[in-house]
Amino acid sequence: MPNEQRLLSQLLGLYERERQLVAYEIHDGFVQKATAALLHLQAFRELHVRNAEEAWRSFEAAERALSQGVDEARRLMAGLRPPALEEAGVVAAIDYLSRESGGREGPKMEFFHAVRFDRLPPLLETTLFRIAQESLANACRHSRSEKVRISLVEVGESVRLEVQDWGIGFNPETVDETRFGLRGIRERARMLGGRVAIETSPGKGTRVTVELPLRPGDEGLGIGVPEAESRGNGS
Q: Looking at residues 203-212, what average pLDDT do you find?
A: 95
Do residues 113 and 206 both lie within one domain? yes
Q: Which of 39-43, 138-142, 195-199, 217-221 has the lowest mean pLDDT?
A: 217-221
Most confident option among 35-49, 99-113, 149-163: 149-163
Residues 221 and 155 in one domain: yes
Q: Please, which residues bridge with residue 154 across strands?
A: 159
Segment 229-233 mean pLDDT: 52
- Residues 43 and 9 placed together within one structural domain of the fold: yes
CATH number of the domain within which 210 lies: 3.30.565.10
Are 92 and 68 found together in one domain?
no
What is the greatest pairwise CA distance in the chain?
Answer: 72
Same domain? 149 vs 114: yes
Q: What pTM was estimated for this model as a whole?
A: 0.65
- Please indicate, yes or no, whether residues 72 and 95 belong to a single structural domain of this protein: no
CA 81/CA 111 separation, integer angstroms: 22
55 plus 93 within the same structural domain: no
Q: Is 114 found in the same domain as 52?
A: no
| Residue-number span of the structural domain to which 57 is assigned | 1-80
**Looking at the structure, do residues 95 and 209 belong to the same domain, yes or no?**
yes
Q: What is the pLDDT of residues 183-193, one digit of tens each?
A: 888 888 888 89
